[in-house]
Amino acid sequence: MASPRLLAVASLVVSVAACTKTWTAEVTQPALVLRANVEARTSLPLVIALRDMELGKWAITNTAYYVVVSRDRLRFHVTLRHKWDTMADLKNWTVYVEDANGVRHYPEDESVHVVPVSELYYHGVVYSLPEPFYRGVAELSIQDRDLFANSNRLTLVLTHGSYEYRYHWISGEPDPEA
């Protein structure tokens, strides 16, 4: 895949139905290649950027991307940032991946940790934040038979109370011989 890596930023969709706030990020990307280097097996990263009045001009970015590990396994890398540690901790969220057939796949293995952040680095300058926030980092492993064959449309869904983040990847058709 010779094209440059792009960062897809969320298109904010806030749904008021049933008091649920939904944020969605979506990207259309080339088909990932199973038997290739890591870059060709890695999705484009998606970002949902939120603002908080206590953090002023700083946007809080929540990111996700995935890597094709095998035809049966995908590994998602998620970073959540929030001013409350319970919201940054992915253990407090319900997580699943929906494939092209609408089948939900729940993580079988997850590695999660949360750290406080009080400074930001921007173009080599260190900024102290007026209020600290938390960064939760997680790796989630999804496994199912021939999952790669149905990976041309994947949606990672994170829900916590009335909040829902939806990361949606649309890819070219996977190689049937993989």
Strand ranges for the chain from DSSP E: 8-9, 21-29, 46-51, 59-70, 73-82, 94-98, 104-105, 109-122, 125-143, 153-160, 163-171
pLDDT band of 13, cuts 50, 70, 90: very low
**pLDDT at site 29:** 94
- Which of residues 97 and 131 earns the better pLDDT score? 97
Environment class of residue 97 by beta-carbon count within 10 Å: exposed (0-12), middle (13-18) or buried (19+)? buried
- Percentage of residues of the chain with pLDDT beyond 90: 56
**pLDDT at site 175:** 56
List of long-range contacts for 62-65, beta carbons under 8 Å, 24+ apart: 62/165, 64/25, 64/156, 64/167
Q: What distance in Å separates the CA atoms of residue 158 and residue 95, rounded to the nearest whole number?
A: 5
Instruction: Tell me the pLDDT tens digit for each residue of 21-80.
Output: 999 999 999 989 888 899 999 999 999 998 877 767 778 899 999 999 999 999 999 999
Q: 53: which residues sit within 8 A by CB, 6+ positions away?
A: none
User: Average pLDDT in the 78-98 region?
Assistant: 93
User: Average pLDDT in the 111-125 region?
Assistant: 86
Q: What distance in Å separates the CA atoms of residue 146 and residue 35, rounded to the nearest whole number?
A: 14
